[in-house]
Amino acid sequence: MAAGNEYHIPKMVLGSSTGQRSMPVLGFGTAADSPDSAVLKTAVLEAINLGYRHFDTAFAYGSEQALGEAIAEALKLGLVGSRDELFVTSKLWCSDAHPHLVIPALQKSLGNLQLEYLDLYLVHWPVSARPGKLELPIKEEDVVPMDFKSVWKAMEECQRLGLTKSIGVSNFSCKKLDNILSFATIPPSVNQVEMNPMWQQKKLIEFCKARNIIVTAYSPLGAKGTRWGTNDVMDSQVLKDIALARGKTIAQVCLRWIYEQGATFVPKSYNKERLKQNLDIFDWQLTEDDLHKISQIRQKKMIRVGVLHASDPKTLEELWDGEL
């Protein structure tokens, strides 16, 4: 296995970014049930030391401040030469998904992160909530119709102002993406969605590839141990057998599979050994037989509601436009 900074993480150029910004395909995810700032800071510094340069956060995660402190520390210690070497993503929360609140929300995230700009800013969910409503899941009475056109216009303004190098969306169906593309001056560069061998997003991947939109996988390993996650990915017998045959971990097989689908991915791990293992996926390939076996895995979406309080199937169908 390569030592620390000898790892080479491939990059993908963002379609509509300012200055042809490129995103490392492997990122460091910071979504956790109860984020511990000290643990997160230590893990980020460890990750930077190992060669990670892509960090994924969101206002709703409560991890922006700790990530910002870790980045400031890394720059001070010389672990990274300059801010430009890093790729930082954050997300607009539902209660700020109103045209007049988008720019102030991004400015607040920048303040938390101690940064002058983001590399990527995403609309976190295709849902608006009453301003000031931060709790999760969002109560039904707090959900309001999203003005997609005006919210996207404000996102475009964020990029024009230089507050972010690129903009995108998260948890958007093909239908909702199509709607954005019908009026966007700056098309979304990224759609970040749940994706792993148990939820392969084949239709969405093809849709996004055809439109030069990068798909980023969250919960690429199933988010085991979180209230929204599942053990099904790491417990899959198909993946266990492939890992054994290749001399790899199940996590490495999952991440390699996502990479071979042409997507980027943001696994969350604060464990040094696993951070190293996640880097060790770029110098080998899955066989045709491996890929066929993975393609036959029974599909099951794990994060079925996530953002909404309602467990009404109708609500789910509307959120995902029947793409379940």
Crossing angle of helices 237-246 and 250-260, in 10° steps, is 90
In the chain, the amino acid numbered 153 is K
Tell me 95's DSSP state.
G
Instruction: Please confirm, yes or no, whether 61 is among the known catalytic residues.
Output: yes
Residue 295 CA from chain centroid, whole number:
22
3-class DSSP assignment, residue 164: strand
Catalytic residue among 52, 61, 117, 218: 61
**DSSP for 171-221, written as a single string:** S--HHHHHHHHHH-SS--SEEEEE-BTTB--HHHHHHHHHTT-EEEEESTT
* Structure tokens belonging to residue 214: 């990068």
CA dihedral 311, 59, 208, 230 (to 10 degrees): -50
Instruction: Decide: 165 and 19 in contact? Cβ < 8 Å.
Output: yes
Q: Where do we find the tokens 């969405």?
A: 204
Three-state DSSP at 224 gives: coil
Distance CA 323, CA 297 (A): 18
124 in a known ligand binding site:
yes
Annotated binding site: 124
Active site residues: 61
Which residues sit in the known binding site for substrate? 124
